[in-house]
Amino acid sequence: MKGFSWKKSRLGMAVLIASVGLLAACGTNAANNTASNSGNTAKDSNTASNSNAAAEKYTLSFFTNNSDRTVGQGKMEQDLIDAYMKENPNVTIKVETLSPDPQFQDKIKVYNASGQLPDIITSWGNNNYLKPLVDSGALAEIDRSTLADAGFIDAALEGFSFNGKLYGFPRNSDFSVLYYNKKIFADNGIQVPKTEGDLMKAIDTLKAMNIIPIAMDGRDAWTSGIWFETLLQRYAGNWDVSKKAMDGSGSFDDPNTVAAATAMKKWVDAGAFGKGFLNQDYGTARNMFGQGKAAMYMMGEWEMGMATDTNFPQEVRDNMGAFALPAIEGGKGSANDLTAWFGGGYSVSAKSPHKAEAIQFLTWMFKPENWAKGVWQNGITFPAQKYDQFLTGKETPVQQDLSKIFNGAASYSGTQAQDKFTADTQKTFYDSLQQLEGGKINPDEFSKAINDAAKKSLGK
């Protein structure tokens, strides 16, 4: 691969709105791959401080949504934690994990209500998750100047900022794609779809061969939220419908909303996701694609690690590619308009007895040679930091596909609409998506329901 052009990416990402936040579920328990080199990455990292065995001993609690500590982001976290403790023998970091994300976030609410928030927590820079914690005084402010050498993308830090103050360390640059099995496509004479019509033909071909066309996590509605927003852009030709609906300058009472909802129902009725997909959770959908039972998988770039995950057959790993959701005939958007945001990160409890030490650890963790190098060179995810200096020329084919998609984007969505709803109106949005997919409401009713929810979010 010629390499990921940071300059080009930086120019593209400048299009992102200043209030870029991130999708609550997307820092998720995904991004699982065998990080064969992450141990070496951690061992080669610089120490965070001059601490030694004679220093005062202390313990940090680390609560994360990455439950699997053997692969992917979970392994990367654990390798860096282990390296830090080895280099600082006076420090103990106790890890607690919980997934999926809704359960993790519920536990955070319980911890915060009881005044027992762990020292370090997984966090997401959006109104629904981070802002209530900031407003309640639960999170420690991070001195932005101390991160000057970390190479963070400016817009990524903005997602964790409120009123000019920084409350977290972002870890990922996330975007939505369709992964595909190149062998299944080739064996059935299918080319990468350039239009929705091409995709629907591929779906019919795959169904005729008793192959599930697209693996989809239908139980967790955030995935459908991304899908809806992408289809909405494909019809409207821009990201303004949802943005304006959520800031009050526009409305979801728009023909493009109805068109996008109609397309969603068309895909479901065509059998794009197989039977019973609304009962499939994240792990089921992921495993379905990873085991070669589905030809495609609708998910974020963080799943590029599947290509090196030895839990899946070599034949699947060797034939994994990715493409952006194609253009729709009659629509104004294109496949070069990318649904992209910044993924999860970490925050520190304001009440932590070791607040400074927790921030010190995260500052060390996000030295470029630690997290950014580790997640990229092990094929785990796209970091929220510059990483061109860590390109090896040995990137997997799916990494190359994803880099081309990201670099070639003409526009980026920024914060998803679903992350701008309040907690109660977000539930209405999610319920409406699943009711639409389940045939319980029609596209016009869906448009009205989410428009009412958007208004309620704004106090109207």
Q: Is the peptide bond before 100 cis (omega within 30 degrees of 0)?
A: yes
CA distance 328 to 395: 31
List the alpha helices (DSSP H) in 237-370. Answer: 240-247, 255-269, 282-290, 314-317, 355-365
CA 54 to chain centre: 41
Q: What does residue 285 show for φ and ψ, rounded to 5 degrees?
A: -65, -45
The whole-angstrom separation of Cα 392 and Cα 379 is 11
Pair 217, 281: CB distance under 8 Å: yes
| CB-CB neighbours of 116 under 10 Å | 11
Q: From CA 381, how far away is CA 307, in angstroms rounded?
A: 12
Cβ proximity of 386 and 400 under 8 Å = no
Spatial contact of 460 and 252, defined as CB atoms under 8 Å apart? no
Tell me, what's the pLDDT at 22? 35
- Return the exposure string of 320-329: e unless at least 16 CB atoms fall within 10 Å of the residue's CB, then b: bbbbbbbbbe
Please tell me what DSSP assigns to residue 271.
T
Alpha helices in 271-351, H assignment, sequence order: 282-290, 314-317
pLDDT at position 54 is 61
Percentage helix, strand, coil for the chain under 3-state DSSP, each rounded to 5 = 45, 15, 40
* Secondary structure, 3-state, 14-50: CCCCCCCCCCCCCCCCCCCCCCCCHHHHHHHCCCCCC
One CATH from 2.40.30.10, 3.40.190.10, 1.10.10.10, 2.60.120.260 for 31-172+344-386: 3.40.190.10
Helix (H, G, I), strand (E, B) or coil at 187: helix
Spatial separation of the C-alpha atoms in residues 395 and 160, rounded to whole Å? 30
Residue 437 Cα distances to 276, 328, 419, angstroms: 11, 19, 20
Question: What pLDDT does 11 receive?
Answer: 34
How far apart (Å, rounded) are the C-alpha atoms in residues 331 and 360?
49
pLDDT at 1: 36
Q: Distance between CA atoms of 218 and 232, rounded to whole angstroms?
A: 19
Within 8 A by CB and 6+ apart from 260, the residues are: 228, 231, 232, 234, 235
Contact criterion met (CB below 8 Å) for 257 and 442: no
Kindly report the length of the chain: 460
Contact 222, 25 (CB under 8 A): yes
Tell me how far apart the alpha carbons of residues 286 and 414 are, in angstroms, rounded to a whole number.
25
pLDDT value for 355: 97
Say if CB 420 and CB 22 are below 8 A apart. no
Q: What is the pTM of this model?
A: 0.75
d(CA 460, CA 417): 17
Q: Please report which residue ranges of 14-56 form alpha helices under DSSP H.
A: 38-44
CATH of 174-339+415-457, one of 3.40.190.10, 3.40.50.720, 2.60.120.10, 3.30.70.270: 3.40.190.10
pLDDT (tens place) for every residue of the chain, 460 residues total: 333 333 333 334 333 333 333 333 444 444 344 333 444 444 444 444 444 446 899 999 999 999 999 988 999 999 999 999 999 999 999 999 999 888 999 999 999 999 999 999 999 987 778 889 999 999 999 999 999 999 998 778 888 998 899 999 999 889 999 999 999 999 999 999 999 999 999 999 999 999 999 999 999 999 999 999 999 999 999 999 999 999 999 999 999 999 999 999 999 999 999 999 999 999 999 999 999 999 999 999 989 989 989 999 999 999 999 999 999 999 999 999 999 888 689 999 999 999 999 999 999 999 999 999 999 999 888 899 988 899 899 899 999 999 999 878 888 888 889 988 988 899 999 999 999 999 999 999 999 999 999 999 998 8
| The dihedral formed by the CA atoms of 435, 285, 108 and 375, expressed in degrees to the nearest 10 | -140
Taking the domains of the chain in order of start, what are their residue ranges? 31-172+344-386, 174-339+415-457
Per-residue pLDDT at 47: 45
